[in-house]
Amino acid sequence: MDLKELPVDEFNTDKAFYAALKLHVYGTVHDSFLTTLIGGRSLLLDQELKLEVGRFTARKANHLFVSENGHRASTSAEFYGFTSHKVREKLTAFHELGVVELLGKGLRDAYTYRWKVPVKHWEVCSFMRFRRSTADDLSMNLEMYRIFLDKGMGVFAARDFVDIYARVHGAEYGTTRWGQRKWEKIASSFAYTEFIRGRLQRLVERGLVLHKGDDYQIAPDMADAVNHFDLFVNAVPFRPSRAMCDACALDKLCQAGSTQKLIVSLNQE
């Protein structure tokens, strides 16, 4: 994919969808491979195993994006109102752009996709930095980033958080007449506001956002993590500092060349 198709200076729903898929892929790289190497165990990386890194089914995609009207608490506020049909539309568009490849289609040959964008070493570095605070729910990075883009590290109210997402969702659904009608129904529902506020509360419970009285703000010690998520989403190359490497669980692997060897192998067809 030519990533110029996705805006650099705007975090719209398509960019958030891309970011969520990318988080899933790098999470798989971490959980399936890097943890094995960190544990001192050897890793035999054959072609079938490599394919598993970026491969996911339509069902898995639904778990990432379909909140089931707020009943699936681990789904980001970014994708409230998404249905399996809408997820498939997004994936079809990403297939046409070359971000993912449609591997299977139909009943027995179920809808299966593969991520095609190469894994980058510096993006692994950024991922490891913000993963420290959000390992149990990587989608929280999307919401923290959304706050950062609109409010920076400043104070905001719960109503501001709801309004931010109302603008995002209004823009996403407002492109068609049918979408506008759906958005009007969503926006007027009690469940919508409660779900968005619930996601804010989740950020508070994890210590990512501070809450005092009516005021909220991103925790000051999260600034570096948010900045690294920005680098990660926008594929910005950088050279990590020695201090950053010292604090990273992958440092010994990187010094031994193991991380780079893994990345090169993963990117080989």
Distance, CA of 123 to CA of 134 (rounded, Å): 16
Residue in the block written with tokens 């969808």? 17
Structure tokens at 75: 């789904």
Model confidence over 103-129: pLDDT tens digits? 887 655 678 899 999 999 999 999 999
Amino acid at 41: R
First to last CA, the chain: 16
DSSP secondary-structure letter at 28?
A: H
Structure tokens at 237: 């190359």
Residue of 268 and 238 predicted with greater confidence? 238
Distance, CA of 96 to CA of 69 (rounded, Å): 29
pLDDT band at 4 (very low <50, low <70, confident <90, very high): low
Amino acid at 3: L
Task: For the chain, give percent helix, strand, coil, nearest 5.
Answer: 60, 10, 30
With H, G, I as helix, E, B as strand and everything else as coil, classify residue 37: helix
Distance, CA of 88 to CA of 58 (rounded, Å): 7
Residue of 63 and 166 predicted with greater confidence? 166
Q: What are the Cα distances from residue 119, in Å, to 2, 163, 237, 263?
A: 15, 35, 12, 6
Structure tokens at 116: 């095609």
Say whether pLDDT at 5 is over 70. no
DSSP secondary-structure letter at 156?
A: B
Structure tokens at 227: 């900045």
Model confidence over 166-193: pLDDT tens digits? 999 999 999 899 999 999 999 999 999 9
Distance of CA 236 to the CA centre of its chain: 16
**How would you class 239 by CB atoms within 10 Å of its CB: exposed for 0-12, middle for 13-18, buried for 19 or more?**
exposed
- Whole-prediction pTM value? 0.92
Residue in the block written with tokens 């506008």? 180
Predicted local confidence at residue 1, as pLDDT: 44
Model confidence over 6-44: pLDDT tens digits? 666 689 999 999 999 999 999 999 988 888 887 777 766
Query: What average pLDDT does the structure give for the chain?
Result: 89
Distance, CA of 56 to CA of 34 (rounded, Å): 19
Say whether pLDDT at 45 is over 70. no
